[in-house]
């Protein structure tokens, strides 16, 4: 069993990574149904929260069926982060997660996200004060370091644990790598194997198949896997990994009816939550993977990702179902 504070999780839990414009309530609900053990919100700006910015406060929406759920915030100003913690607590999440890993320039340029990897002392201070401010378990997501020459993740992990975080998720790339190249899990294993560490260490980056998840568990000895890009348009990834762990075999391919049903529900929930325009727009990125492996699919995909009205997208789903309902695709 793995524990984040008092939260009990199964052995080698699978966590849905916080992803901007991806891990919103509709997608989190689908991933939860398919076996995600912990889900995290999109990352939320502490400055946006304290200004009551609509986009930031909307991301605080969480639902009972998601639990355990973590709300992730980012920022580099201590006062703003502490005020954000108080706002986040009112949404009653199970976990508060601090983003010290986002590599995007507009975040990094303000010293937030992965930008704070240039100032480990500030990272430690911010974390310590946030832990003191809340009764909720605080976790951190970060990267190996700013660049290859400044990887100090073993030291960083010790310092964060010492000020009270309850779990640490590490993406196996530096900020300089962004999302390029291969994730390096060796330094993450060094953190896990450090005899000083006693909190769960979760690996993130390139967990893109059940075999890779098993490798992270068995060869690197980590406590769990945080899943990001592999589950976009594929909420079944969590179920596929768990099936493989249990049986050593791959789950049967997802049927066309299941794919269509998930896509329909996803779009409907997105519209219900964020309105027609954003619901249609922000669900588009999932369709390529929802319908991966289908021959001659391009005309239907084009309709799905260029239509501005949900009725046209739902019609495209109906057309795909009518044409491919009897087929199975790996």
First to last CA, the chain: 33
Which pLDDT band, with edges at 50, 70 and 90, does 234 fall under? very high
Provide the annotated active-site residues: 102
- Tokens describing residue 223: 């406590």
- Which pLDDT does position 327 carry in this prediction? 56
- Separation CA 196–CA 278 (nearest Å): 46
The DSSP result for 59-110, as a single string, is TT---GGG-SEEEEEE-S-HHHHHHHHHHHHTT--SEEEEEE----HHHHTT
Q: Can you list the domains of the chain with their CATH numbers? A: 2-247 (3.20.20.70), 256-324 (1.10.1200.80)
- Which pLDDT does position 288 carry in this prediction? 85
Percent of the chain with pLDDT over 70: 98
**Which tens digit of pLDDT belongs to each residue from 112-170?**
888 899 999 999 999 999 999 999 999 999 999 888 888 999 999 999 999 999 999 99
- Tokens describing residue 134: 């809340």
What is the pTM assigned to this prediction? 0.92
Q: What is the mean pLDDT of residues 168-191?
A: 94
């Amino acid at each position: 069993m793995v524990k984040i504070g008092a939260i009990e999780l199964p052995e080698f839990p699978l966590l849905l990574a916080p992803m901007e414009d991806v891990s919103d309530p509709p997608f989190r609900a689908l991933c939860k149904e398919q076996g995600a053990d912990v889900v995290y919100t999109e990352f939320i700006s502490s400055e946006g929260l304290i200004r009551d910015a609509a986009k930031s406060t909307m991301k605080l929406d969480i639902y009972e069926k998601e639990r355990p759920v973590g709300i992730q915030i980012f920022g580099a100003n201590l006062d703003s982060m502490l005020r954000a913690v108080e706002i986040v607590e009112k949404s009653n999440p199970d976990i508060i997660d601090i983003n010290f890993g986002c590599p995007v320039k507009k975040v990094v340029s303000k010293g937030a996200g992965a930008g704070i990897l240039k100032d480990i002392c500030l990272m430690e201070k911010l974390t310590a004060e946030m832990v003191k401010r809340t009764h909720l378990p605080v976790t951190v997501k970060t990267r190996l370091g700013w660049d290859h020459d400044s990887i100090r993740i073993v030291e960083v992990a010790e310092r964060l644990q010492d000020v009270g975080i309850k779990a640490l998720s590490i993406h196996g790339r530096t900020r300089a790598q962004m999302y390029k190249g291969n994730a390096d899990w060796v330094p993450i294993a060094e953190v896990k194997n450090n005899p000083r560490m006693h909190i769960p260490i979760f690996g993130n980056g390139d967990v893109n198949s059940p075999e890779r998840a098993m490798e992270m568990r068995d060869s690197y000895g980590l406590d769990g896997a945080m899943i990001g890009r592999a589950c976009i348009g594929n909420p079944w990834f969590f179920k596929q990994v768990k099936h493989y762990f249990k049986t050593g075999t791959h789950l049967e391919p997802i049927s066309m009816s299941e794919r269509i049903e998930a896509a329909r529900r996803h779009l409907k929930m997105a519209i219900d939550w964020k309105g027609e325009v954003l619901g249609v727009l922000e669900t588009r990125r999932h369709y390529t993977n929802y319908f991966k492996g289908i021959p001659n699919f391009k005309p239907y995909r084009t309709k799905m990702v260029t239509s501005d009205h949900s009725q046209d997208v739902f019609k495209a789903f109906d057309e795909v179902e009518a044409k491919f309902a009897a087929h199975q695709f790996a």
